[in-house]
């Protein structure tokens, strides 16, 4: 093993292979010197099928969240959509259509959130009584 004279071998964007100590990019999925592989490759920041599905379902804002197990948040977004649509409708009347941009902005935001939020669909449905 070689010794570098750097006091800290760990920098922000690299990691050391837990198997052989080879320096690797932080998001490395496998070591290029030994046969170490990162476990659970499906749990990276990259989107999964359910992420895409949730974003797709967000055509109806809130539905994507319900799909991922966030019923309370989904309901809030659905209600929020009605509020935003009402508000942006009024704003559109007052500003010759510009207000509709607000609704689109909200809509895209909800879809992106549904895509990014962690899928928490689990067999247990114990915490149904969410308080709001």
Quick check: 131 and 72 in contact, CB under 8 A?
A: no
Nearer to Zn ion, 26 or 33 (CB): 33
Distance CA 74, CA 62 (A): 4
The footprint of Zn ion (CB under 5 A) covers 17, 19-20, 22, 31, 33-34, 36
Q: How far is the CB of 44 from Zn ion (least distance, A)?
A: 19
Stretch (H or E) spanning 14:
strand 14-16
* Smaller CB separation from Zn ion, 28 or 53: 28
Give the shortest CB-18-to-Zn ion separation in angstroms. 8
Among 49, 102, 114, 48, smallest CA distance to 77 is for 114
Nearest distance in Å: CB 30, Zn ion: 8
Q: Which is nearer to Zn ion, 20 or 104 (CB)?
A: 20
């Amino acid at each position: 093993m070689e010794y570098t004279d750097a006091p800290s071998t760990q920098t922000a964007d690299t990691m050391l292979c837990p198997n052989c100590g080879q320096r690797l990019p932080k998001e490395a999925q496998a070591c290029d010197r030994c046969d170490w592989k990162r476990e659970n490759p499906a749990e990276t920041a990259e989107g999964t099928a359910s992420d895409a599905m949730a974003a797709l379902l967000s055509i109806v804002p809130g539905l994507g969240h319900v799909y991922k197990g966030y019923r309370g948040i989904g309901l809030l977004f659905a209600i929020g959509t009605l509020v935003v649509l009402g508000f942006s409708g009024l704003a559109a009347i007052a500003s010759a259509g510009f207000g509709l941009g607000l609704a689109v902005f909200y809509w895209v935001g909800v879809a992106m959130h549904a895509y990014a939020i962690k899928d928490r669909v689990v067999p247990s449905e114990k915490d149904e009584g969410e308080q709001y």
